[in-house]
């Protein structure tokens, strides 16, 4: 009896298109550009084909995709956030307040709220950056949950009622392409950033902060920068949603906004942001499909988290990428 083993071999087209700068054929160019063009094409052409209900789902994909990208960005710099709701909520309240009290139009309140939300979140978490390990997770987990009680108690920003009757986006298409465009921009932009030397420093801080410090680099500055970027991305998602719901209130700090992004990043595969986006594109619609299960959905998320992080830590994205670049065959070994 002969034993067999599975062999993975790079596809010929991968090898051909990898090193040669003058690409020989359209096929090769498509092979290289395909993985980048596919999400762009989906974003451009899919929404008009969907029913209004699934359009809303697609909108959620954009929002949770941004939150997942933000989470992954932080994780790359060694900060494991359990409270994306903090960033989301800060941006959401920022936009709500700018709209209500300054009468700012959405296109202005969105960027300002994102930056302001990012700044406030960064300031709140700044002291934790001096600590290694799980302190960051602990503090990000409890801050949004405590802030809810603060709003409840002090009745600031509309208290338990929240602020309603805010300004909507001009049309559903603006809404749709704005958030999906932002997701694509964040995905490709921050992927580039992580691949550059700057990203290397961030990952260096995660893997061996002493080594980075001994290179004369102030790791707090870099951690704070990464935190601000991630918080602003999360804040952007929150500010955007404020003008979709036309309302902002305590639910923006709810645990849901923390859990789903983490689940998306973990299921899709942390590191590199593409996994996080793919994870959101899978989990959000899945979550809609499972709506009949009600509260059981969150149980599923919990189980997904455990199963993926323990058994499939590299996530779905790396599986897809491997299938794209390599083929497998069984070979006999003696």
The interface region with another protein, picked from 106-114, 215-223, 238-246, 318-326 by CB under 8 A, is 215-223
The interface region with another protein, picked from 41-49, 129-137, 167-175, 187-195 by CB under 8 A, is 129-137
Closest CB to another protein among residues 63, 143? 143
- Binding pattern for the stretch 166-205 against another protein, x by CB under 8 A and - elsewhere: -------------------------------xx-xx-xx-
Residue among 10, 18, 152, 328 that touches another protein (CB under 8 A) = 152
Distance CA 131, CA 36 (A): 37
Least separation, in Å, of the C-beta of 37 and another protein? 29
Q: Does 301 bind another protein (CB under 8 A)?
A: yes
Q: Does 217 bind another protein (CB under 8 A)?
A: yes
Q: Does 40 bind another protein (CB under 8 A)?
A: no
Closest to 92 measured CA to CA, from 180, 157, 138, 149: 157
* Contact criterion met (CB below 8 Å) for 65 and 280: yes
Least separation, in Å, of the C-beta of 212 and another protein? 6
Residues between 72 and 111 with contacts to another protein, criterion CB under 8 A: 75, 80, 82
Query: How many Cβ atoms from other residues are within 10 Å of residue 324's Cβ?
Result: 13
Q: Give CA angle at 315 (310, 321), nearest 5°.
A: 150
Distance CA 163, CA 143 (A): 21
Closest to 265 measured CA to CA, from 71, 86, 126: 71
**261 phi/psi in degrees, rounded to 5:** -60, -40
Residue among 193, 298, 312, 320 that touches another protein (CB under 8 A) = 298
* Contact criterion met (CB below 8 Å) for 184 and 40: yes
Question: How many whole angstroms from its chain centre is CA 245?
Answer: 20
Distance CA 206, CA 331 (A): 40
Residue among 66, 92, 147, 183 that touches another protein (CB under 8 A) = 147
Query: Which of 82-106 are b and which e, b meaning 16 or more Cβ less than 10 Å from the residue's Cβ?
Result: bbbbbbbbbbbbbbbbbbbeeebeb
Q: Does 255 bind another protein (CB under 8 A)?
A: yes
Number of residues interacting with another protein: please give it, by CB under 8 A.
65
**Token digits of residue 41:** 């094409």
Least separation, in Å, of the C-beta of 216 and another protein? 3
Residue among 57, 145, 254, 320 that touches another protein (CB under 8 A) = 145
Distance CA 212, CA 197 (A): 13
Q: Does 160 bind another protein (CB under 8 A)?
A: no
Query: Which of 251-275 are b and which e, b meaning 16 or more Cβ less than 10 Å from the residue's Cβ?
Result: ebbebbbbbbbbbbbbbbbbbbbbb
Q: Does 23 bind another protein (CB under 8 A)?
A: no
| Residues making contact with another protein (CB under 8 A) | 75, 80, 82, 124, 127-128, 130-135, 137-139, 141-143, 145-147, 149-150, 152-154, 197-198, 200-201, 203-204, 207-219, 255, 259, 262-263, 266, 270, 294-296, 298-299, 301-306, 309-310, 313
């Amino acid at each position: 009896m002969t034993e067999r083993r599975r062999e993975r071999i790079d596809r010929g087209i991968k090898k051909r298109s990898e090193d040669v700068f003058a690409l020989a054929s359209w096929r090769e160019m498509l092979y290289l550009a395909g993985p980048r063009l596919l999400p762009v094409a989906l974003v451009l052409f899919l929404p008009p084909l969907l029913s209004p209900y699934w359009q809303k789902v697609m909108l959620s994909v954009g929002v949770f995709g941004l939150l997942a990208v933000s989470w992954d960005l932080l994780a790359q710099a060694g900060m494991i956030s359990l409270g994306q709701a903090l960033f989301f909520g800060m941006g959401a309240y920022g936009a709500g307040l700018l709209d209500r009290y300054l009468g700012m139009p959405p296109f202005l309140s969105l960027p300002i709220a994102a930056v302001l939300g990012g700044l406030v979140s960064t300031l709140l978490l700044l002291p934790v950056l001096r600590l290694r390990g799980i302190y960051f997770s602990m503090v990000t987990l409890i801050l949004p949950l405590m802030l809810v009680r603060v709003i409840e108690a002090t009745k600031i920003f509309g208290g338990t009622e929240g602020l309603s009757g805010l300004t909507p986006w001009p049309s559903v298409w603006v809404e749709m392409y704005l958030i999906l465009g932002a997701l694509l921009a964040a995905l490709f932009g921050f992927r580039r950033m992580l691949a550059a030397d700057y990203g290397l420093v961030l990952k260096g801080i995660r893997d061996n902060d002493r080594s980075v410090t001994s290179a004369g680099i102030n790791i707090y500055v870099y951690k704070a920068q990464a935190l601000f970027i991630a918080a602003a991305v999360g804040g952007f998602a929150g500010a955007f949603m404020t003008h979709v719901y036309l309302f902002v209130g305590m639910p923006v700090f709810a645990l849901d906004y923390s859990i789903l992004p983490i689940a998306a990043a973990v299921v899709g595969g942390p590191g590199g942001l593409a996994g996080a986006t793919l994870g959101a594109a899978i989990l959000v619609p899945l979550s809609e499909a499972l709506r009949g299960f009600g509260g059981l959905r969150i149980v599923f998320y919990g189980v997904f988290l455990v199963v993926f992080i323990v058994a499939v830590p590299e996530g779905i994205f790396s599986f897809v990428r491997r299938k794209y670049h390599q083929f497998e065959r069984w070979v006999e070994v003696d």
